[in-house]
């Protein structure tokens, strides 16, 4: 399973809406495995197919529990993901993006969302998420719609201008 190169801005694939996944075959399974490996290697907590220059509506997310550091991580592979039932409550938080190295951004997100998608076998799934996990899903689903955190940020920070204490933890990029 080879690692794929993560593309960074400016790259036109990152600003384009992707096409839906329609064929669930061995090539797709290989692509998914490569994405998981690439996300873990980065390291990151989420990766969308356009970030490896594949214009498909496909994301992988791996996250544990924000309250419990020792909780096992859960891997989500979602084809054609869509946000449904976004909360009216919004929260602002700081995000990093593997495709925008050297920057972080304050982004306003729904506090909770339901994500409707297909799993890697093509079966429909519905996931309720809140807090940081909801933020990761919203960030990755934006990627498949050609939207970057810097397009919707309320504030963008250059990492080298930040005090070490204010920088987000490594490995939390999306």
- Catalytic machinery residues: 140
DSSP 157: E
Residue nearest to Ni ion (CB): 97
CB 98 → Ni ion: shortest distance, Å? Answer: 6
- Taking the least distance from each CB to Ni ion, the nearer of 97 and 115 is 97
- Give the binding site for Ni ion (CB under 5 A): 97, 174
- Taking the least distance from each CB to Ni ion, the nearer of 97 and 118 is 97
Return the CA Rg of the chain: 15
How many other β-carbons are positioned within 10 Å of the β-carbon of residue 159?
14
- Taking the least distance from each CB to Ni ion, the nearer of 14 and 79 is 14
CB 38 → Ni ion: shortest distance, Å? Answer: 13
CB 119 → Ni ion: shortest distance, Å? Answer: 21
Q: How far apart are CA 5 and CA 2, in angstroms?
A: 10
Of residues 84, 73, 30, 39, the one with CA closest to residue 59: 39
């Amino acid at each position: 399973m080879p690692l794929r190169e993560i593309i960074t801005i400016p790259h036109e694939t990152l600003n384009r809406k992707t096409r839906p996944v329609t064929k669930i075959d061995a090539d797709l399974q290989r692509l998914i495995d490569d994405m998981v490996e690439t996300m873990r290697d980065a390291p990151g907590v989420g990766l969308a197919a356009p970030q490896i220059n594949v214009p498909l509506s496909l994301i992988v997310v791996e996250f544990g529990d924000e309250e419990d550091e020792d909780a096992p991580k859960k891997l989500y592979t979602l084809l054609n993901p869509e946000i449904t039932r976004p909360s009216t409550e919004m929260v602002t938080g700081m995000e990093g993006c593997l495709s925008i190295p050297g920057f972080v951004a304050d982004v306003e997100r729904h506090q909770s969302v339901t994500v409707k998608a297909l799993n890697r076998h093509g079966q429909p799934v519905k996931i309720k998420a809140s807090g940081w996990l909801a933020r990761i899903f919203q960030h990755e689903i934006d990627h498949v719609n050609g939207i970057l955190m810097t397009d919707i940020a309320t504030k963008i920070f250059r990492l080298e201008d930040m005090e070490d204490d204010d920088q987000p933890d490594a490995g939390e990029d999306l």
